Structure 1
Amino acid sequence: MGKAIVAIGLPESGKTTFLAALWHLLTNKKVLARLSLEKLTAEEATYLRAIATRWAQAKKQERTFHSGNKTVKLSLKSDRGAVFDLTFPDIAGEAFSQMWEMRECATSVADALRATGVLLFIHVDKIKPPGWIADDTALAESLGHADANAHADAVADAPTKALANSPDEGQADEIVQWKPESSPTQVQLVDMLRCLQMQPFDIGPRKLAVVLSAWDKVENDDVSPELFLELHLPLLHQYLTHGLSDGWTHRTFGVSAQGAEYDDSNGAPSPEADRMRDMEVPSQRIKVVVEGSTSHDLTEPVNWLLE
């Protein structure tokens, strides 16, 4: 039976890295997993080997935007023996940015967004926070405005513009035009989920796995994935708790598919990347945290969506 999962998220949210690590896990077979690989076409194996090789070498993935959207079809077997075909579109994050900024998307993307299972990727180190009125007031006071509250009200009453000042250089206020990409991460993600519950994307009840990627960057903060979501993305957390349509269910996963920092873009080696390349079992770089348990099994979010 064919089952479809769509991976969604803003640019550089970890979708391709997840897919690369998943392929390595399925083919390396050195770590116990809920799902196993049954078969794959040669063409898709070539693509997956390419991204998995870069993952194993601790090198950054080439941007999906440059190589085009890629739909991968895997034949998988569950730990209960059930075999099914999984369709996994690896869609560029720029496609979702375009949906937010231009309110449009390609037909192929629209088709993929009707999948019954949704993987929502959020990079914990790339969250763009909202601007708070209290912060605007404090900033206005530090810039020497006579009426800080009036200044903050002016910013709040003009959502398409922002006021900037450089007190050190004595420059006057500068009007900066607001752009859609300036919106906070959680605002864009909530709108993305709202779109999936409206025509032409609405297909009824779905399962949503929220994947907090690069979890290794926050794992020492002693917070669960659910608490991290509530603290850092409160609007999204509230929407997931109270705003999803009837029949939708969701679960939050903390996922470190990469393991640590890779070599930088200039090719300078990273000590952490060297350590990962020296690991005898690369799959052990993977860490998945969900509901108080931790494992190396990257198939957990996918398995939950398909249960």
Structure 2
Amino acid sequence: MTSPSDPIVLVGLPGAGKTTFLAALWYALNHSTDGGISLNALPEDQAYLNEISRTWRQGEPQPHTATAVFQEIRLCVRYDGADVPGELVLPDLSGECFQQDQWADRHWNQKYDSIARAASGVVLLVHPDAWKGSPRIADVARAEQLIEGSVAESQGEHVASGGAGRAGADESDQVEANVVDFDPLRVPAQVILVDLLQFLIGDPCFHTALRVSVVISAWDLLESRGRTPSVCLEKEMPLLHQFLTSNADRISCQVFGVSAQGGPYEDPRVRQNLLQMDNPIERIQVRDADGNTSDITAPILWQVRDRVVEERECRGIS
């Protein structure tokens, strides 16, 4: 049986909102009594958490996490319903560590490796910008049909004019001129995210299903569309959705929509409205299968809820 103190890994590509999520989480743990997770003791080093939390509270964008920085955050917390405290371990890495190091260069940090091998779950953050411009299968198929039709039409015209041989040579030259080298950083985000998850579930250390909380960040941009987070993931990132559902024996998944900021800071009116709220926690928007809430601990609490119940049963507590 896994323990509530097992690490939960934050995973996300550049711009996914990992630091903003962590900043809002730290503020909520310090100022809210309504969440499912509360602080049991303060960590020895709070400087980084206090800094990003202060930036969040002031309605300012978070500075980009440096690639070389590895923040191993360990919090002594108490889960709702648990009789003993647990340790929440949230390593904060830059998105480039996942995109460049792990995906493109096929290696990862040794410290991250030790945490990943001990991890019981993953909070996978996805920003809506990640699926902008991602080609869909139907779009690719239609494009191929148009290209084939255009080539066939062009060949027909050249054949009619007696230039079939030259047409083939011209097309071959054009294709060669348009060929570009493969760039792993131009691959659609969902392909990279699936690969990152395959790294984790492919490790022999995982004997039970990996719990994955998919967090669609900047949910305020999508709330008005009337879709649930699960439907949004299925429609916008079908490859990732298919991977998660087809590996149900190895992955237990729940999808959340989270706006840790409450709105785009770039809009002066939105930012002003957010700053005027008496309680900054009210900025937070969380959408899950049960509806709307401001409890940003929900994606993590879902990870450990079953383990808390198991622990109570093992200790003979009903």
Taking structure 1 as the reference length, the TM-score comes to 0.83
Contact 2:67 2:97 in 1 (8 A): no
Q: CA deviation at 1:300?
A: 0.7
1:122 aligns with 2:126: yes
The aligned counterpart of 1:56 is 57
Contact 1:137 1:148 in 2 (8 A): no
Aligned AA (2:270): E
CA distance in 1, matches of 2:198, 2:108: 15
Contact 2:215 2:257 in 1 (8 A): yes
Contact 1:216 1:259 in 2 (8 A): yes
Q: CA deviation at 1:207?
A: 1.1
CA offsets 1:274-296 (integer angstroms, 9 cap, x no match) = 21111111101111111141100
Matching of residues 108-257 of structure 1 within 5 Å: 108-114=111-117, 115-128=119-132, 129-130=134-135, 132-137=139-144, 140=147, 145-147=150-152, 174-199=178-203, 202=206, 204-244=208-248, 246-257=249-260
SS of the residue corresponding to residue 66 of structure 2 reads: helix
The aligned counterpart of 2:271 is 273
Structure 1 residue runs without a partner (length 5+): 151-162, 166-171, 264-268
Count of aligned residue pairs for this structure pair? 278
Contact 1:125 1:217 in 2 (8 A): no
CA distance in 1, matches of 2:50, 2:42: 12
Q: CA deviation at 1:301?
A: 0.8
Contact 1:224 1:292 in 2 (8 A): no
Contact 1:125 1:214 in 2 (8 A): no
Contact 1:140 1:148 in 2 (8 A): no
Residues 139 and 73 (structure 1 numbering): CA distance in 2 closer, same or farther, change over 3 Å? farther
The RMSD of aligned alpha carbons is 2.6
Residues 296 and 173 (structure 1 numbering): CA distance in 2 closer, same or farther, change over 3 Å? same
Aligned AA (2:26): W
SS of the residue corresponding to residue 112 of structure 1 reads: helix
CA offsets 1:200-241 (integer angstroms, 9 cap, x no match) = 664543211111111111110000011001100111111111
Aligned AA (1:84): G
Contact 1:195 1:201 in 2 (8 A): no
Q: CA deviation at 1:136?
A: 2.7
The aligned counterpart of 1:290 is 288
Residues 67 and 58 (structure 1 numbering): CA distance in 2 closer, same or farther, change over 3 Å? farther
- Equivalent of residue 5 in structure 2, options 2, 6, 29: 2
Structure 2 residue runs without a partner (length 5+): 156-171, 306-318
SS of the residue corresponding to residue 62 of structure 2 reads: coil
In our comparison, the structure showing a higher alpha carbon Rg is 2
Contact 2:67 2:93 in 1 (8 A): no
- Equivalent of residue 34 in structure 1, options 29, 33, 36: 36
Q: CA deviation at 1:140?
A: 4.4
Contact 1:259 1:286 in 2 (8 A): yes
